[in-house]
Amino acid sequence: MKYMSEYRDPELAKKYLEEIKNTVSRPWSIMEVCGGQTHSLVKNGIIEMLPDKVTMIHGPGCPVCVTPLNLIDKAVYLAVEKGVILCSFGDMLRVPGSQKSLLEAKAEGADVRILYSPLEAVKIAEDNPHKEVVFFAVGFETTAPANALSVVHAHRRGVKNYSILASHVLVPPAIKAVIDDEESKIDGFLAAGHVCTIMGNTEYHPLSAAYKVPIVVTGFEPLDVLQGILMVIRQLEQSKSEVENQYARIVREEGNPDAQKVIDEVFEVRNQMWRGIGEIPESGYAVREKYADFDATKKYNVTIEEAPENPDCISGQIMKGIKKPFECSQFGKTCKPTNPLGAPMVSSEGACAAYYHFSGLVEA
């Protein structure tokens, strides 16, 4: 496929790997922030082909994985106890809550629907005026414009039976939190290209300058990731710390101003809990008071007590880059995609799922 196959060329991949090998002179640890990049690294065998001096650390870039346990419990409560039509992207359905997942709630009779767009949820609300419809609005900055736009559309059309349960998390504060964690030792970062498509690169310059780390905005195809790694290593070898844009075919320095405008219209920045990590200051979006009628948290005033995580799950350490999935004692044993202990085993961007399906560490 044009514009896809070009970035999967094995001969070019060999050349990038050779250039990385010739450039690196000492050990470096590089974190790829996005789970999509993690899957590209593992699925394509890139990790095994990199020189021993290059260590890839898998970051917290899986919004499904970091959605708080408490919020999943709220979604289940709304679907089961309040009888709302609960709409969601497919990834969220199998993520375990403290008692059950949304998929289990659906199996028990709750009206839980998988959608590709929150605008579909607005249409469902219009078609079912006597039912409340809630869209589980999860994601990084990438999905925030569509979720915000659904609120704007519902407001304009007078659709009063629609609301969103928001759990949007922001990448730059997460990078800062990872750097500040005394257990983390990261030399450079591959930033998430799709996030920067929306938000641009400007938020990363202060981070790079303050912490003196190279940050390369990177895509997701094998050659994207290899080129991003090479760009980070070149900076490290030259003692540089700058923001570079590998994903220039998509990302602009200023991002997408129209998308940013609709985000700012509906959302405001707040402190946010990250599952397995804890609260990160100013790392999430909350629905503005202007649109409070479309905020499911306020609309239903649901109070769910915080429940403890499964003590056998080390997903927090995995998402902070402290441990790899195969270092978990439950990996591929009690924790599998069909019976996950934590979200990284079921999300399409989860590091545990990537290793389970593609690393060859688990027998079929």
CATH, residue 243: 3.40.50.11740
Asked whether residue 3 carries a pLDDT value surpassing 80, the answer given is no
Distance CA 255, CA 171 (A): 14
pTM (predicted TM-score): 0.92
pLDDT tens readout for residues 33-59: 999 999 999 999 999 999 999 999 998
Distance CA 126, CA 91 (A): 25
Residue 240 lies in a domain: yes
* DSSP per position, 331-362: BTTTBBTTB-SSGGGTSTT-HHHHHHHHSS-S
Domain residue limits at 339: 314-356
Question: Environment class of residue 182 by beta-carbon count within 10 Å: exposed (0-12), middle (13-18) or buried (19+)?
Answer: exposed
pLDDT of residue 152: 98
Asked whether residue 119 carries a pLDDT value surpassing 80, the answer given is yes
Tell me, yes or no, whether 198 and 262 share the same domain.
yes
Comparing 340 with 208, which gets the higher pLDDT? 208
Residue 238 lies in a domain: yes
- State the average pLDDT over residues 209-216: 97
Share of the chain above pLDDT 90, in %: 74
Tell me, yes or no, whether 335 and 304 share the same domain.
no
Tell me, yes or no, whether 230 and 337 share the same domain.
no
Asked whether residue 1 carries a pLDDT value surpassing 60, the answer given is no
Distance CA 332, CA 352 (A): 9
Asked whether residue 73 carries a pLDDT value surpassing 90, the answer given is yes
pLDDT of residue 239: 97
Residue 264 lies in a domain: yes
- State the average pLDDT over residues 277-296: 95
Asked whether residue 220 carries a pLDDT value surpassing 90, the answer given is yes
217 has which bridge partners? 191, 245
Asked whether residue 306 carries a pLDDT value surpassing 80, the answer given is no
The rounded mean pLDDT for the chain is: 92
pLDDT of residue 243: 98
- State the average pLDDT over residues 5-28: 93
pLDDT of residue 186: 94
Residue 6 lies in a domain: yes
Report the relative pairing of strands 243-245 and 278-287 from DSSP bridges: unpaired
- State the average pLDDT over residues 141-160: 97
pLDDT of residue 118: 96
- State the average pLDDT over residues 304-328: 85
Tell me, yes or no, whether 321 and 306 share the same domain.
no
Residue 337 lies in a domain: yes
Asked whether residue 82 carries a pLDDT value surpassing 70, the answer given is yes
Tell me, yes or no, whether 69 and 173 share the same domain.
yes
pLDDT of residue 5: 76
Question: Residue 363: which pLDDT band, with cuts at 50, 70 and 90?
Answer: low
Tell me, yes or no, whether 154 and 282 share the same domain.
yes
Asked whether residue 364 carries a pLDDT value surpassing 60, the answer given is no
Tell me, yes or no, whether 238 and 323 share the same domain.
no
